[in-house]
Structure 1
């Protein structure tokens, strides 16, 4: 059975800040049965109660908080909200992806997080933007080089939109990375920096070809920004992806 379509809650950060429980209820009404959190340390017990009441699972969470809070506290919160996948979505200087030494330091950092997470039964992942794809080392992107330096326990959450903006042939990238890719951020838009995103299926991204290249990866909808009503956009995204892949 296909895993439920998920959504990164950063998409609705303003709405969640104003009314978390009401926003989660609207997502459930749209048909989302899974979510990806962006700060597990924000009232994890309350978040879990609301998600349980709505029948929502937690596919994964971003864990930017690892750079500012005690790792044990963060991993406890990750477990409490109901997932074992914690993803680093930033916090590393862009320049670190432009040299071999920088990539080695980045791998050491992520591998260190993975060691500590493993003690709690949690896996660490890394989420890209465009700056991990623009630098090239012979015929490979910095992200591909990094993947080769990472402990096998560290997985990748490939942001397919930013990978394309960074110059990658995204289906080819996904095939090259293979089973290191556990999750995809599925988003759409004009395919350039500093422009609003659109509902999935409404922009310039060849979403079907990208998804076909990683058939077993988690699908997680995200809009970093949106020029239309965001709930309308995430509903349209859900409808498009459900029709495309038959996911619920």
Structure 2
């Protein structure tokens, strides 16, 4: 809903059983025609989306979301390394995004206990800054936060232990599993601080837990890890027990995502949406 006095989209918190989709999944279609791509998402029956890099194209996204009756309860943006985090939070307010998630800090900054402490302190500060504006801030994992170990423990655990209670977490259970974690157990251990999960499935076979991507991009990967990107599947069609993941975080926003998909990604999203409608009893309102 647009507030006529401010022109900004009002933030809402509908039931978590209403799924969303990470627009990064359709980045190629958006690059070709942002408005048409967002319209296709709405045609699938989705009413919620998770924009990425939203501070860089706020006006275009606002136009497309409003035209298609879509809301964005969460969004991805680089905030930890941003020169002006308030500009990102301004854009979030403009789009009605209540949960701002930083999606990526490269693997070489997740090596030691000091690394975890440094990142946690930065996230704590940004979370407090966001809270002053009525926003929540948090972090989204990939594989390396679990594959990188400190004293036999995933560095992610050290990071979480230092976080303030108000910090939100978006858990990508697929990537946690790729990194060697028991994803449902991770979610149960994190409890209510998990504000959202990425609903993703694919192949977990091969030597994928011990290899790491480039420090420059999560998408530049060694041969042994490529299958984890290239063979992603709609929910319920891969090796991850997506049902157990959902059951472990019944309160969390469900966000469908594909990092890569061999077929028509809109069809893949539709299949994941249909699977959630049939199987996501834990997240029902």
Backbone CA RMSD of aligned residues: 1.9
> Which residue among 86, 100, 107 is the counterpart of 1:94?
107
Aligned partners of 1:39 and 1:65 also within 8 Å: no
Question: 1:83 & 1:106 partners in 2: Cα distance?
Answer: 23
Q: Quick one: which of 167, 176, 192 aligns to 1:154?
A: 167
Conserved 8 A contact 1:48-1:82: no
Distance 1:100 1:67 in 2: 19
- 1:75 partnered with 2:89: yes
Equivalent pair of 2:22/2:255 in contact (CA under 8 Å): yes
| Aligned match of 2:77 | 63
The equivalent position to 1:164 in structure 2, one of 177, 183, 198, is 177
Question: What is the CA-CA distance between 1:115 and the residue it aligns to?
Answer: 2.6
- State how many pairs are aligned: 247
Give the deviation of 1:53 after TM superposition. Answer: 2.6
- Taking the aligned partners of 1:214 and 1:118, their CA distance within structure 2 comes to 23
TM-score (norm 1): 0.93
Q: Closer, same or farther in 2 for the Cα pair 1:134/1:104, shift >3 Å? A: same
**CA–CA separation in structure 2 for the residues paired with 1:55 and 1:216:** 24
Residues 82-128 of structure 1: CA deviation (Å, up to 9, x unaligned)? 112111111x3423322111111111111122232223222111000
The structure where strand makes up a greater share of residues is 1
Structure 2, unmatched stretches of 5+, are 1-14, 209-224
CA–CA separation in structure 1 for the residues paired with 2:80 and 2:151: 33
Check if 1:199 corresponds to 2:238.
Answer: no
Note if 1:31 corresponds to 2:63. Answer: no
Specify the alignment match of 2:280 in structure 1. 245
Give the TM-score normalised by structure 2: 0.81
Segments of 4+ moved more than 6 angstroms: none
CA drift of 1:73 comes to: 1.4
Distance 1:171 1:145 in 2: 18
